[in-house]
Amino acid sequence: MKKLEIEKVIFKKLIKLNRYINLIELMEKDEFEDNDIKKYYKTTKYILYRIFGHHVGYMHVSISEDGKVKKSDYNYHPQKIAELVGEKNAKNVLELGSGQSANIRYLAKRFSNVDFKGIDIYPNFIKGKNISIYEGDYHSLKMIESGSIDIVYAIETLCYSTDKQKVYDEVYRVLKKGGIFVTWDGYLAIPRETLTQKQLVIVKMLENGFYLNKLEYIGDIKNYEEDFKIILSKNMKNGVMPFAIQSVKRIESYMKFGMFFKFFCSVFPKEFINNLAPLYLMADSLEYNLSVYYELRYEK
Helix (H) or strand (E) run with residue 98 in it:
none
221: amino acid identity, one letter = I
Tens digits of residue pLDDT in 135-145 = 999 999 999 99
Helix (H) or strand (E) run with residue 240 in it:
helix 237-255
Domains of the chain by start residue, with CATH:
3-299 (3.40.50.150)
| Three-state SS sequence of 45-85 | CCCHHHHCCCCCCCCCCCCCCCCCCCHHHHHHHHHHHHHHH
Residue 217: φ, ψ to 5°: -70, 130
Tens digits of residue pLDDT in 215-262 = 999 999 999 999 999 999 999 999 999 999 999 999 999 999 999 999
Residue 161: φ, ψ to 5°: -70, 135
Helix then strand then coil, in percent of the chain rounded to 5, is 50, 20, 35
Distance of CA 190 to the CA centre of its chain: 19
Tens digits of residue pLDDT in 146-200 = 999 999 999 999 999 989 999 999 999 999 999 999 999 999 999 999 998 889 9
Can you give the pTM of this predicted structure?
0.94
In Å, the largest CA–CA distance within the chain is 59
- Distance (Å) of CA 40 to CA 37, 271, 275: 5, 5, 9
Close Cβ partners of 8 (under 8 Å, ≥ 6 residues apart): none
